Structure 1
Amino acid sequence: MKIIGIMGAMDLEIKLLRDKMNVSNNEKVAGFNYYIGEIEGNQVILTCCGVGKVNAASCTQILIDRYGVDCIINTGIAGGLHNNVKICDVIISDNVTYHDVRKAQMKSCFPYKEFFDGDKELIELALNACKLNNNSDLNYHLGRIVSGESFVSDDNLKKKIVEEYSPHCVEMEGAAIGHVANINDVPFVIIRSISDNADNEATMSYEKFEKISAENSANIVLNMLRTL
């Protein structure tokens, strides 16, 4: 049986999944809690990595080295960056990259890639899970997700990121997860639901929609697990 690693940056992003999980063991490694058990008959390692790229990368490497996961699904919330993306929409990553690392550096330094591609099978599974979602009003998109060490809540920064990367959304962990998964040859996909528009109103919107958006994303993951 495959071992599926599932990650969120904050407790609210994995709460629904933990509530649905039959936990057989709980281990703390390097400060991260790893819940070991089953969801929908699948062997799962569920963890909360904390906010930011270094936390996400460290937690991902432990998932791979210590628990031998066969694939990684990252679930959570994000700021919308695309004109067609609305609050509470779901974004499935076709690829991920950093918005705070120069493109030249990405291409000229190991691992010599400007972005990291999501796994085609996991992407297809996620898209099908969106179609099966009980919420008929839920919109979903396939597109680029960018990450950086800041909560984007400024119109000027948003404009700069959009012009340079043409992403669907922005967050703080996905590219690091994809980076580590890629260099370890572990399939991954990033799933995010929009809590705000990464603009001057982002903080107010985030506080209103963070829980709803976190559950939207987690429900897609649950649908994926049901169809595996």
Structure 2
Amino acid sequence: MKKIGIIGAMAPEIELLKNKIDINREDNIAGFDFFLGSIDDKDVIITRCGEGKVNAASCTQILIDRFGVDSIINTGIAGGLHESVKICDVVISNNVTHHDVRKAQMKNCFPYRDCFESDEKLIEAAIKACKSHHSENWNYHIGRIISGESFIQDSKIKKNLLRDYSPHCVEMEGSAIGHVAYINNIPFVVIRSISDNADDEATISYNDFETIAANKSAEIVLGMLQIL
């Protein structure tokens, strides 16, 4: 039986999932709430890690050590970076990386990787879920997702990130989840719906689209659970 860990950073990112999946138990470990349930023939553990990479990494390791998950899906919202990515679009990670760690440090220090590759089967499931939910109001993209310890709301910083990393979107947890999943040999993928354009207008857009984007990402994850 598959056991799938699902991580969101904030309450709106996991609320729809909690409402759709049969939750039969709740645990609290190291301050994180873990909701244990099932969908079809799969065990599911949903958790909210809080903002930032340290929280995300800690929560991911607990999912692996204490709950023995076979794979991990990170769901949530992000700031769009690539010119093709629009608000409420969905980005499926093909790899993730830290934008606030020097590339040389990542390559020369454990685990000697400049990025962490997402699992092909999880990517395929996400694509199928996107196709089955697709409408003319949004598109899906497959690309790099970058993470760092700040909410990006500056057009100059956005330009530099695009130049240095060629990413599709930016957020604050995915690369840490991918990093921990990689060193534990656990398949992962990051699913993000766009709430803002990571520019000077980001805060206004985020406030308008946070819940809409969070629910869109959660809908794709629900579709994936039916496919996996």
Match of 1:141 in 2: 141
Match of 1:30 in 2: 30
Give the superposition deviation at 1:41.
Answer: 4.0
Match of 2:219 in 1: 219
CA displacement, residues 104-144 of structure 1 (integer Å, 9 cap, x when unaligned): 00000000000000000000110111001154433000000
CA RMSD of aligned residues (A): 0.8
What is the identity, as a one-letter code, of the residue corresponding to 2:129? Answer: A
- Cα distance between partner residues in 2 of 1:134 and 1:157: 31
Match of 2:102 in 1: 102
Q: Which runs of 5+ in 2 are unaligned?
A: none
Match of 2:74 in 1: 74
Q: Does 1:122 align with 2:109?
A: no
SS at match of 1:57: helix
CA displacement, residues 166-203 of structure 1 (integer Å, 9 cap, x when unaligned): 00000000000000000000000000000000000000
8 Å CA contact 2:95, 2:118 repeated in 1: yes
- Cα distance between partner residues in 1 of 2:12 and 2:53: 18
For residues 38-187 of structure 1, the aligned pairs below 5 Å read 38-133=38-133, 135-187=135-187
8 Å CA contact 2:36, 2:44 repeated in 1: yes
Give the superposition deviation at 1:226.
Answer: 1.3
Give the superposition deviation at 1:212.
Answer: 0.3
TM-score (norm 1): 0.98
TM-score (norm 2): 0.98
SS at match of 2:78: strand
- Cα distance between partner residues in 2 of 1:94 and 1:129: 16
- Cα distance between partner residues in 1 of 2:88 and 2:179: 26
8 Å CA contact 2:2, 2:41 repeated in 1: no
- Cα distance between partner residues in 2 of 1:191 and 1:134: 15
SS at match of 2:104: helix
Give the superposition deviation at 1:21.
Answer: 1.5
8 Å CA contact 2:194, 2:213 repeated in 1: yes
- Cα distance between partner residues in 1 of 2:161 and 2:86: 18
Give the superposition deviation at 1:39.
Answer: 2.6
Across the two proteins, how many residue pairs are aligned to each other?
228
Give the superposition deviation at 1:40.
Answer: 4.0
Q: Which runs of 5+ in 1 are unaligned?
A: none
- Cα distance between partner residues in 2 of 1:20 and 1:4: 15
- Cα distance between partner residues in 1 of 2:139 and 2:158: 22
- Cα distance between partner residues in 2 of 1:14 and 1:41: 20
Q: 1:199 to 1:49 in 2, by over 3 A?
A: same
Q: Does 1:203 align with 2:215?
A: no
- Cα distance between partner residues in 2 of 1:25 and 1:15: 16
What is the identity, as a one-letter code, of the residue corresponding to 1:190? Answer: V
What is the identity, as a one-letter code, of the residue corresponding to 1:184? Answer: N
SS at match of 1:189: strand
- Cα distance between partner residues in 2 of 1:144 and 1:66: 29
Identity of aligned residues (%): 64
SS at match of 1:66: helix
